[in-house]
Amino acid sequence: MAGNLTAVTDADFGQEVEQHQGLAVVDFWATWCGPCRMIAPILEQLSVEYDGKVKVCKLDVDTNTMTSMRFNVRSIPTLLFFKGGKVVDQVIGAVPKAALESKFKQHTA
């Protein structure tokens, strides 16, 4: 993974995301998904800008179906925001950087 992004799987999702202290953002994506590729560079930028404040993770829905089903992810890209192991917000679809950045600010304030 580029920048400060962490690849997560069904096997390590609990440890990497749900047990993380602070804000963790998980990008549910797939290699064939055009909108996923559109937001990937934005997430890389935000992972650098919010280094130390937000843990940004990527989960490939094609190879990690258990976690995708558990959180009822039906469309990709879906970003889930976790605090204290619980989902506190979500963004579905490709959105502009300003929209994602405002969510990051909202949950790190």
> Which residues belong to the active site?
33, 36
Question: Helix, strand, or coil here: 36?
Answer: helix
Residue 61: DSSP 8-state: T
54-60 and 23-29 beta bridge pairing: parallel
Q: Which two tokens stand for residue 1?
A: 């993974």
Rounded Cα distance, 90 and 92, in Å: 7
Rounded Cα distance, 96 and 8, in Å: 24
